[in-house]
Amino acid sequence: MRLKRPSIPYIIWMVVFTMIPIVLILFSAFTDRHGNFTTASFVKAFGYFDVFLKSLWIAFISTLICLILAYPIGYIMSRQKKSVQNTLTMVIMIPMWMNFLLRIYAWVTLLQNGGPIDTMLSFLGIHTTLIGNQGAVILGMVYEYLPFMVLPLYSVMAKIDNGLIEAAEDLGSGRLTVMRKVVFPLSVPGIVSGITMVFVPSASTFLVAQYLGGVDDIMIGDVIDRIFWSDNNTGSAIALVLMAAILVFLIILNFFGDEEAIA
Amino acid sequence: MKKLSKLYTALIIVFMYMPIVTLILFSFNNGKTTVWKGFTLRWYTDLFRDSQIISSLWNTLLVAFLASIFATILGTMAAIGINNFKGKKKIFIQNASNIEILTPDIVTGVALMLMFTMLGTAFHFKMGFVTVLLSHITFCTPYVVLNVLPRIRHMDYSVYEAALDLGCNPWQAFRKVVIHELMPGMLSGFLMSFTFSMDDFVITYFTRGSAFQTLSIQIYSMTHQRISPKINALSALLFAAILILMLIVNIKDRKAEKQQAQRV
């Protein structure tokens, strides 16, 4: 029964469908159309440096807003009766099962000129364009990934014993001190996985900016999409840089998480 | 709940559901814009007459079903095997499996496209149903491994040995003990795979070739060109389906919990 053999098909599968494609990306990034070695693709990729930075910035802001919005809701959920917890978890998860494009499209409907929110605002005498700017992109991103922040935070905080919080209160801690010294340190693993689950997809997303942003608001994912079809090599180089950046981010984040957990 | 907590929870729920509710409302609007022009069901009848949408719905379900079945088998076998590796080898295989989860979808998508295009020119095939299915199995399987591994770790091998001693042949013992023990993990792996596969746009977009349509792709081409109220009707129906499914699952869970509570 203690066999290793059953894992062989999956190991082969991973090599063929995960490792080889990544190696191909690597190969394609460092060669030209005819397969000769060159770093020209990276030079071209460097031309999109500002888009790259903007994507990371938008992802960072979106992650931060998700964290700020999700932390209280995760905590509130974790302090309810078990049945209320289950219901709230379901309520948070249901929108996640709606198709990703439909959720973005819903915001296009809401925010467009002459749409419901615009009409309401102009009724109040406020005339602005709600769509086609960076704010709308961030809003879409937050909407898209908020549940991915709420759920890990909630599941970590649900494990915090109420007795621990009560003990801290009995020993004279105010509500803020309890938050800072009991709840926060115990919730760090949830914060780390929440940040991972929001930052990685939002830094690499494409289409959100095409739907909600203006002409200048393209993100690095959109650039990869636009370029890859005609120029595999530059597309691969950008994809590679994106992957490397995310990897570095994850390593730093994990390091940070471990430190906190030990302290 | 305290008042402030209640208010905050309500605000978050409004934020999460307002866009969906808006789409559903406008799916009954007798006009193409977001100005209310009276009640109609014509977008729904239009939707059901659209053979392209119906066929892409079947494609989506077919891919999701096959990919999650295959991923569940492949992932469960992998988890059983991985558990028997020791030390660094075990960690290495697990990390390799997690690479797929941590790689951004768009990178997975273009990488697979690159490989399929090369293989396609070498062996004269075009991307389509098969390449989409292979890609979906690839991104679903790691989630099955993640769901099954913890259950194997907590499994008691002596039960398996006991089954053998009591006269089961190895296959019977495997089916009745191991599969039985792993079932909850396999099931959640399967469900995760199914939903991820259904919801996927990015990886399908890069590996589908030119002819194969899934619902996500269909939605993309419909929303990219112009605003069509048919999309609203489709959203409303999908949302209703999800809601019903979730309610069934939840009610079943609660019954099971109650039964367990009674047994204890």
- pLDDT winner (highest mean) among A32-36, A110-114, A236-240, A246-250: A236-240
More confident: A90 or A255: A90
Tally C-beta pairs within 8 A across A and B: 218
Q: How large is the average pLDDT for residues B49-65?
A: 91
Q: Would you give the distance in Å from CA B179 to the centre of its chain?
A: 22
Cα distances from B20 to residues A65, A107, A114, B38, in angstroms, run: 21, 9, 18, 19
For chain A, give the mean pLDDT.
88
Residue A10 and residue B34: Cβ atoms within 8 Å?
A: no
Residue B106 and residue A236: Cβ atoms within 8 Å?
A: no
Written as six digits, the tokens of A87 are 């219901």
Please check whether residue A182 lies inside any domain of the structure.
yes
Residues 65-94 on B with a CB inside 8 Å of A are: 74-75, 77-82, 84-85, 93
Query: Can you give the pLDDT at residue A23?
Result: 94
Would you say residue B193 has pLDDT above 90? Answer: yes
Query: Can you give the pLDDT at residue B261?
Result: 73
Residue A76 and residue B8: Cβ atoms within 8 Å?
A: yes
Residues 157-216 on B with a CB inside 8 Å of A are: 157, 160-161, 170, 174, 178, 195, 198-199, 201-202, 206, 215-216
Sequence-separated (6 or more) residues with CB below 8 Å from residue A201: A144, A145, A148, B104, B105
| CATH code, A254 | 1.10.3720.10
pLDDT in tens, B129-162: 999 999 999 999 999 999 998 888 888 878 888 9
* A114-128, A129-143, B65-79: least confidently modelled range: A114-128
Q: What is the identity of the amino acid at A75?
A: Y
Residues 163-192 on A with a CB inside 8 Å of B are: none
Please check whether residue A179 lies inside any domain of the structure.
yes
State the Cα–Cα distance between residues A58 and B173, nearest whole angstrom. Answer: 54
Chain A contact for B114 (CB, 8 A cutoff): yes
Q: How confident is the model at residue A251 (pLDDT cuts 50, 70, 90)?
A: confident
Which among B104, B115, B254 has CB closest to A21?
A: B115
Query: For domain B54-225, is the CATH number 1.20.1440.230?
Result: no
pTM of the model: 0.88
- pLDDT winner (highest mean) among A19-23, A157-161, B36-40: A19-23
Looking at residue A146, what DSSP letter applies? Answer: H
For chain B, give the mean pLDDT.
88
Would you say residue A178 has pLDDT above 80? Answer: yes
Closest by Cα among B127, B132, B141 to B70: B141
Would you say residue B234 has pLDDT above 60? Answer: yes
CB A235 within 8 A of CB B117: no
Chain B contact for A248 (CB, 8 A cutoff): no
Residues of B in contact with A77 (CB under 8 A): 9
Q: How large is the average pLDDT for residues A164-169?
A: 87
Structural domain harbouring A121: 49-262
Closest by Cα among B28, B10, B21, B218 to A109: B21
What is the share, in percent, of chain A residues with pLDDT greater than 70?
97
Would you say residue B91 has pLDDT above 90? Answer: no
Chain B contact for A101 (CB, 8 A cutoff): yes
Q: How large is the average pLDDT for residues B40-46?
A: 89
**C-alpha atoms less than 13 angstroms from C-alpha of B42 in its C-beta half-sphere:** 10
Sequence-separated (6 or more) residues with CB below 8 Å from residue B110: A25, A224, A228, A235, A236, A239, B206
Query: Can you give the pLDDT at residue B264?
Result: 58
Q: What is the dihedral of CA B108, B110, B116, B122, to 10 degrees?
A: -140
Would you say residue A262 has pLDDT above 60? Answer: no
Residues of B in contact with A9 (CB under 8 A): 74, 77-78
Chain B contact for A22 (CB, 8 A cutoff): yes
Would you say residue B163 has pLDDT above 60? Answer: yes
Chain A contact for B9 (CB, 8 A cutoff): yes
Q: How confident is the model at residue A261 (pLDDT cuts 50, 70, 90)?
A: very low
Please check whether residue A211 lies inside any domain of the structure.
yes
Q: How large is the average pLDDT for residues A203-228?
A: 89
Residue A94 and residue B18: Cβ atoms within 8 Å?
A: no
Q: Would you give the distance in Å from CA B40 to the centre of its chain?
A: 33
Residue with tokens 């109040």: A124
Written as six digits, the tokens of A260 are 């906190």
What is the share, in percent, of chain B residues with pLDDT greater than 70?
98
Closest by Cα among A151, A95, A102, A146 to B243: A95
Residue range(s) occupied by CATH 1.10.3720.10 in chain B: 54-225
Chain B contact for A236 (CB, 8 A cutoff): yes
Q: How confident is the model at residue A129 (pLDDT cuts 50, 70, 90)?
A: confident
Chain B contact for A24 (CB, 8 A cutoff): yes
Q: How confident is the model at residue A236 (pLDDT cuts 50, 70, 90)?
A: very high
Give the number of domains in chain A: 1
Written as six digits, the tokens of A239 are 């994809």
Q: Would you say the C-alpha torsion A20, A25, A30, A33 has a positive or negative sign?
A: positive
A93 membership: H or E segment, kind and range: helix A82-93
Would you say residue A10 has pLDDT above 90? Answer: yes
Q: How confident is the model at residue A263 (pLDDT cuts 50, 70, 90)?
A: very low
Residue with tokens 């992650």: A63
